A = this chain, B = another copy of it.
Amino acid sequence: MSVGEMASGAKLTVPVYCFKAKDNSGPNVYIQANMHGAEVQGNAVIFQLLELLKHCSLKANITLVPYANPVACNHKNGEYTLGRFDPITGVNWNRMYHFDESVIEPFAAQNIDANEGEIKERFEQLLLEEVDKKLEHNIWGLTTGQRIAYQLQRLAHQADIVLDLHTGPISSKHLYCPEYVKESAEYFNIEHTIFIPNEFDGAMDEATFCPWWSLQQAFQAQGRNVVMGQGAFKKESFTVELGSQEQIDLDVAKEDAQSILAYLHYQEVIADEQFQPDKMTRYACYLKDYKALYSPMGGMVDYLAAFGQPLAAGEPLARILRMDNYGDGEALHYVALEQPVIPILHFASASVNQGTELYKVFCNYFEL
């Protein structure tokens, strides 16, 4: 799949792997990786999924796309890969998907009496047409990121289950899960889950479930009850954060592939009983309680707090070294919070400016 051209004319393509089930009874699946340039581990997970799926009995189709954003994954910036945004515009690569909410209400009104099979078929069709209109020739053109995002979105809209594989900077594993399918979070081997509401901010996961969730709400407002996550509305979409960026570990990738297969077995995408989730304590919080902590000063940071463990109020997350202050007794500054949190990820470098995001943490967390 051709997604872009560079200044020399070099074409950038994305490999697409498809498994077709003989009897396609389960929900279809779309999995992509590496939309952000530095977040490469998902490619290794797709490698291990391809290896494992060869031996599985499939009950639904699975499409897998590694290197989803070759512009980003080839963009070295010094030794590192530029992570999260178009280096020319600054726009986050994962904020460019399309959803025009204004199509929802008219569709609901027109299909208020349709059966669920008709709704599913027609609404999928509508979503594809919306994206196709964007991709059609347009005198003003598309941005680099839109051209990539819309092509990936075409694939995602044809699936019922979507997994977008990301990583944090330096990070524990965690999962973004829509609030209406909380129970699904327990089938991944991931200890931390963030439950997200029906608010579209341009990301792949939201672009997949927000239209259906909004449709369900529009039906409800018009007096028809359908249940999100069931029947025609069986649409699940997750951002799976696999750990730290800038790293490939094929052994860990195999474990993550098995975790994904445990979820797919639960969803009856594969029939292979051996893929079962591990027993573990799983913590969750709501998106509004997933908070960023910004550095109160410039300096060099010794990150202290272990990921994934509850940290008591007042315990230090980090200490910041300020050698220019040495001798005034203030060369070390401790950073703590006044409430218990679970640290999930921290910044990729020890050197921070005043205002750099230091940590992201769960507040008001609870066990699943």
Q: Which residues of A contact B (CB under 8 A)?
A: 4-10, 12-13, 15, 17, 37-38, 40, 43-44, 46-47, 50, 66-67, 70-71, 73-92, 139-147, 169, 246-250, 291-302, 319, 321-327, 331-332, 337-338, 347-357
Are B249 and A294 in touch, CB under 8 angstroms?
Answer: no
Whether the Cβ atoms of B144 and A7 lie closer than 8 Å is no
CA–CA, A116 and B153, complex, Å = 52
> Most B CB atoms within 10 A — which of A291, A325, A326?
A326
Say how far A364's CB is from chain B's closest CB, in angstroms.
14
Given known A-B contacts A142-B294, A250-B302, A295-B141, A7 and B351 have beta carbons under 8 A apart: yes
Assess the B351–A76 pair: CB atoms within 8 A: yes
Interface of chain A: mostly helix, strand, loop or mixed: loop
In the docked arrangement, what's the CA distance between A13 and B323, Å? 12
Is the pair A7, B142 in contact by a Cβ cutoff of 8 Å? no
Are A77 and B76 also in contact (CB < 8 A) when A6-B298, A8-B67 are? no
Q: A10-B12, A144-B355 are in contact. Are A247 and B350 (CB under 8 A)?
A: yes
Q: Is the CB of B349 within 8 A of A80?
A: yes
A140–B290 Cα distance when bound, in Å, is 12
> Within the complex, which residue of B46, B141, B145, B352 is in contact with A7, where a contact is CB–CB below 8 Å?
B352
A347 / chain B contacts, CB cutoff of 8 Å: 79
Of A6, A17, A294, most B-chain CB atoms within 10 Å = A6
Q: Are B91 and A299 in contact (CB under 8 A)?
A: no
Specify the chain B residue showing the minimal Cβ separation from A34.
B8
Contacts of A67 in B (CB 8 A): 8-9, 323-324
In the complex, the 5 A-B pairs of residues with the closest C-beta atoms, listed nearest first: A5-B298, A141-B294, A144-B355, A85-B90, A90-B90
On whether the beta carbons of B147 and A355 are closer than 8 Å, the reply is: yes
B90 lies within 8 A of A293 (CB): no
Given contacts A15-B326, A17-B326, A43-B323, 11 further A-B contacts (CB under 8 A): A8-B12, A9-B299, A38-B349, A40-B300, A47-B321, A76-B88, A79-B348, A139-B338, A140-B293, A141-B293, A246-B349
Complex alpha-carbon distance, A15 and B142, angstroms: 28
Q: With A44-B302, A294-B143 in contact, do A8 and B78 touch (Cβ < 8 Å)?
A: no
Do A9 and B298 have beta carbons less than 8 Å apart? yes
The answer on a CB contact under 8 Å between A321 and B79 is: no
Q: Which of B246, B326, B355 contacts A50 (CB 8 A)?
A: B326
The residues of B that contact A326 with a CB separation of less than 8 Å are 15, 17, 47, 50
Judging by beta carbons under 8 Å apart, are B4 and A354 in contact? yes
**By the criterion CB–CB under 8 Å, are B323 and A15 in contact?**
yes
Known: A351-B38, A354-B5, A355-B144. A76 touches B81 (CB 8 A): no
Q: Known: A40-B350, A348-B80, A350-B247. Is A7-B73 also a contact (CB below 8 A)?
A: yes
Q: Inside 8 A of A84's CB, which chain B residues have their CB?
A: 89-90
User: What's the minimum C-beta distance from A63 to chain B, rounded to whole angstroms?
Assistant: 14
Report the minimal beta-carbon distance from A289 to chain B, rounded to whole angstroms: 12
Give chain B residues whose Cβ lies under 8 Å from the Cβ of A43. 300, 321, 323
* Neighbouring B residues of A4 by C-beta, 8 Å: 298, 353-355
Contact B79 A78, beta carbon cutoff 8 Å? no
B66 touches A9 (CB 8 A): no
Residues from chain B with Cβ under 8 Å of A78 in the complex: 77-78, 80, 82-83, 87-88
